[in-house]
Amino acid sequence: MPEQRGKQATAEVKDEWTRAYNIYLKAPGDRFDKKKDRTSRIDYVAQEMKLTRKQAKRRVRNYEAWQRNIKKGLVTP
Q: How confident is the model at residue 73 (pLDDT cuts 50, 70, 90)?
A: confident
* Alpha carbon distance 59, 48 (integer Å): 13
Q: Give the CA count within 13 Å in the CB-facing half-sphere of 23.
A: 22
Output the pTM of the full model.
0.86
Q: What is the mean pLDDT of residues 4-18?
A: 83
- Asked if residue 76 has pLDDT above 80, the reply is no
* Alpha carbon distance 2, 52 (integer Å): 29
List the chain domain ranges: 10-70
- Asked if residue 1 has pLDDT above 60, the reply is no
Which of 2 and 47 is assigned the larger pLDDT? 47
Nearest to 42 by CA among 34, 32, 29: 29
